[in-house]
Amino acid sequence: MFENDFIIPALEFIATLFILLLGLLLLAVVVLYVIDISQTRHAIRHNYPVIGRFRYLFEHIGTFFRQYFFAMDREELPFNRAERSWVYRAAKDIDSTVPFGSTRDLKTRGSIFFVNCAFPTLGEDATPARSLTIGPHCRQPYTTSAILNISGMSYGALSRPAVRALSHGARLAGCWMNTGEGGLSPYHLEGGCDLVVQIGTAKYGVRDADGRLSESRLREVAAHEQVRMFEIKLSQGAKPGKGGILPAAKVTEEIARIRGIPAFTDSASPNRHPEINHVGELLDMIEQVRLSTGKPVGFKTALGMTEWLDKLCEEIHRRGIESAPDFITIDGAEGGTGAAPMSLLDNMGLPLREALPLLVDTLIEHGLRQRIRVIASGKLITPARVAWALCMGADFAVSARGFMFSLGCIQAMQCNRDTCPTGITTHNPRLQRGLDPELKAQRVSNYVRNMVHEVGVIAHSCGVASPRGLRRHHARMVIDAGRSELLSTLYPEPTPLHHRQSRSA
């Protein structure tokens, strides 16, 4: 009797609640039907009221269904599951071996594979990557053995915990971290790592009240011992010819203060430095920054037209070799952590595969290869890609998205919306709570260590004792189905111009 007295009212309550919810649902459907049938902006919603709205839902969630359920390991872009999985395992420092053979199609044109030798380097004969000096003519040259480093990602584009994790992780790994064009923040300095301060077209962090380059701000930034180099950003691979954009929602008061701009307004950089109109003025700015800071200065660019590189080298020889940039960061068109117009993202600039050998060969031709260090950037997130860059003549590799994956990025494609589900590119405190800087710093360090180790494994298989010993004859590229050529055949290193001239004389 007691049970019936309890169960019957409970069932009546549930039934009433169900009817109420059903009524609300029907009311919502009626309201949406009226809204959809009355509007003419969206044809699908007008012709198929309520039901047409599911198109947008399916379009949105389709990205995630393809990523997790339908795409094969090697199919996705910009990074496939196999590439991401290697980074995740490397960052977590867990077994990265794969069973039952490769899933990679070795017949695809452009595929790179390395040439193992009959007598590979023994473990006891292997040597660590040798140190290189950048900026030998500076008051404070920078010497480092780091192979893989963190590419430019601004505080603002990245969240506070993400920058903190990268800073601490870079120190643990012994690599440098590029601040990106958003300026030097306390969170870059917090970890104690080596820093490269990027000077974008808006001069964030080193600008005066009128937006021009400020020598006093330069000296103030350079006074930090951790700041090792300065990089003048001409362009980037994702959007050559267009400046960086940080949406107003992500320009907090703190970020605005660091950048020297108004808060909660779009942070849009000019598409180039107004004061740099030709190679002479580029060298002038490099010299100005170098004299003000005493530290190595180079520039970052994506390549399209290439004639200006010859003019740059000729101007360097006219002024003297000390006037040369201390390094050049070459970014491929496949690069890009930030949002960009699809017209540029898909169609503008040379991929790193063409741009890197083009730059290296130009420097060799003009006898400047030993003076100017080359830093390669553009989807270099796996050991094979980094080893390829070293084969083609790069001194260093930098990556942005590889380090985002090491922080836990799931390629949700929401970097520009302040809704990043992993807390990496959002300023939403609730979403940031899931990113533990201490844990992620260790994963950043693990990623670098395992990357360097596996690049070394490739080098040793080629019979080279150290990763920086890799050359073009250590790799082949598929040029058509079933046939490949050595990179040294496809991209023969040129003879320096002065050697040609002396022979002809």
Reported as a single tens digit per residue, the pLDDT across 335-393 is 666 666 666 666 777 899 999 999 999 999 999 999 999 999 989 999 999 999 999 99
**pTM assigned to the model:** 0.85
Greater confidence, 7 or 181? 181
User: How many H-runs (helices) and E-runs (strands) does the chain carry?
Assistant: 18, 15
CA 395/CA 370 separation, integer angstroms: 10
**pLDDT tens-digit series, residues 453-491:** 999 999 999 999 999 999 999 999 999 877 999 999 999
According to DSSP H, which parts of 276-382 are helical? 279-293, 307-319, 342-347, 352-365
pLDDT band at 61 (very low <50, low <70, confident <90, very high): low
Greater confidence, 450 or 81? 450
Domain with residues 130-457, CATH architecture? Alpha-Beta Barrel (3.20)
Mean residue pLDDT of the chain comes to 87
Domain ranges of the chain: 2-70, 130-457
**The pLDDT value given to residue 504:** 39
**The pLDDT value given to residue 346:** 66
**The pLDDT value given to residue 271:** 85
**The pLDDT value given to residue 211:** 85
Mean pLDDT for the stretch of residues 107-121 = 91
Residue 407 has pLDDT above 90, yes or no: yes
Residue 69 has pLDDT above 60, yes or no: no
pLDDT band at 96 (very low <50, low <70, confident <90, very high): confident
**The pLDDT value given to residue 203:** 92
Give the percent of the chain with pLDDT over 70: 89
pLDDT band at 503 (very low <50, low <70, confident <90, very high): very low
Helix, strand or coil for residue 387? Answer: helix
**pLDDT tens-digit series, residues 285-315:** 999 999 999 999 999 999 998 899 999 999 9
Mean pLDDT for the stretch of residues 395-408 = 94
According to DSSP H, which parts of 366-479 are helical? 383-391, 401-407, 429-432, 437-461
Strand partners, 133: 143
CA 448/CA 445 separation, integer angstroms: 5
**The pLDDT value given to residue 356:** 97
**The pLDDT value given to residue 75:** 58
Helix, strand or coil for residue 377? Answer: strand
Mean pLDDT for the stretch of residues 423-440 = 89
Most confident of 277-281, 413-417, 493-497: 277-281
Q: Convert 166-231 into a string of H (helix), E (strand) and C (coil).
A: HHHHHHHHCCEEECCCCCCCHHHHHCCCEEEEEECCCCCCCECCCCCECHHHHHHHHCCCCEEEEE
Tokens 């050559």 — which residue?
Answer: 240
Residue 500 has pLDDT above 50, yes or no: no
pLDDT band at 502 (very low <50, low <70, confident <90, very high): very low
Mean pLDDT for the stretch of residues 311-333 = 96
**pLDDT tens-digit series, residues 219-269:** 999 999 999 999 999 988 666 767 777 778 778 888 888 888 888 888 778
- Helices 160-173, 437-461: axis angle to 10 degrees equals 40
**pLDDT tens-digit series, residues 3-38:** 566 677 777 778 888 888 888 989 988 888 888 888
Determine contact, residues 239/347, Cβ cutoff 8 Å. no
- Here the tokens at position 97 are 């071996």
Phi/psi of residue 451, nearest 5 degrees: -60, -50
Residue 427 has pLDDT above 70, yes or no: yes
**158: alpha, beta or left? (left if phi > 0; alpha if psi -120 to 50):** beta
